[in-house]
Amino acid sequence: MKPRIEKSQCFAPGNNGLPTRTIRTFLAEDSPLLMALLARMVSKNQRVSIVGSATDGRKALCNASTLQLDLVITDLHMPGIDGAEATRRLKQLPNPPIIFVVTGDDTPEARARSMVAGADAFLVKAGNLAPRLLSAIQEFFPDDLEQNNAEPKHLCESLATVE
User: What mean pLDDT is predicted for residues 22-38?
Assistant: 95
Q: Is 158 a member of any domain?
A: no
Q: Is 106 a member of any domain?
A: yes
Q: Is 162 a member of any domain?
A: no
Determine the pLDDT at residue 161.
35
Containing structural domain, residue 56: 11-148
Q: Is 3 a member of any domain?
A: no
Q: Is 2 a member of any domain?
A: no
Which amino acid is residue 162, in one-letter code?
V
Determine the pLDDT at residue 157.
39
Q: Is 16 a member of any domain?
A: yes
- Residue 153: is its pLDDT beyond 60? no
Q: Is 133 a member of any domain?
A: yes
Please tell me the distance from the alpha carbon of residue 105 to that of residue 124, in angstroms, as a whole number.
Answer: 7
**Domain count of the chain?**
1
The model's pLDDT over 92-125, given as tens digits with 9 standing for 90+, comes to 999 999 999 999 999 999 999 999 999 999 999 9
Q: Is 4 a member of any domain?
A: no
User: What mean pLDDT is predicted for residues 66-71?
Assistant: 93
The model's pLDDT over 48-60, given as tens digits with 9 standing for 90+, comes to 999 999 999 899 9
CATH number at residue 62: 3.40.50.2300
